[in-house]
Amino acid sequence: MSSVAPPPHPADRPPAGGHPVPDAAAYLSGAWAVDRELHDLSAGTSGRFRGTAVFRREDGDDGDTDGGALLHIEEGELTWGGTVSTAGRTLRLLPRPDGTAEVTFADGRPFHGLDLRTGVWTARHPCVDDLYEGAFTVVSPDEWRVSWRVGGPAKDQSLRSVYRRRGPGAAD
């Protein structure tokens, strides 16, 4: 069966060099609007997730990120095949002293490293026989993007997300 390529998307054309971020946890802390396109390339189907992502101290304190883990909680609506349902996920961000971080699943299993110091980062995550390949780009102080390409015997997918800062200090 042939794969159907998704249409070109601005998230696939990141700005040259990206916006440098010296501390990933400090940058990500707070609330973000999320807009995600999902494509099942083998089936030729597409969907969209719209919602929010909140990065907050694991202990519930929204204060500064002095090395403690951050919870990355996404909640929203997934539209797929004409059906709208609630969807979400939780990840953990473990800051490192050099401004980078380790991202894990909520249960502690490793996911990928994250280094936004140049404003761009690529990550790989093997999942059984499938491989997730991610490209992160920080566009500005209030916007970042990630594109995931998932391939293997069980999946042939493309996911493109745009995160825009919400709340005080965000440029609307």
Q: Distance (Å, rounded) from C-alpha 27 to C-alpha 22?
A: 8
- pLDDT band, very low/low/confident/very high, at 59 (cuts 50, 70, 90): confident
Which residues in 65-93 are b (16+ Cβ under 10 Å) and which e? beeebbbbbbebebeeeeeeeebeeebbb
pLDDT reported for residue 63 = 47
Predicted confidence (pLDDT) at residue 156 exceeds the cutoff of 90: yes
Section 80-100 average pLDDT: 97
Q: Distance (Å, rounded) from C-alpha 105 to C-alpha 91?
A: 5
Structure tokens at 150: 């998932």
Predicted confidence (pLDDT) at residue 14 exceeds the cutoff of 60: no
pLDDT reported for residue 2 = 40
Reported as a single tens digit per residue, the pLDDT across 91-134 is: 999 999 999 999 999 999 999 999 999 999 999 999 989 999 99
DSSP conformation class of 99: S
pLDDT reported for residue 67 = 56
Q: Distance (Å, rounded) from C-alpha 164 to C-alpha 139?
A: 10
pTM attached to this predicted model: 0.85
- The DSSP bridge partners found for residue 95 are 101
- 8 A C-beta contact, residue 80 and residue 103: no
Least confident window among 60-69, 126-135, 136-145: 60-69
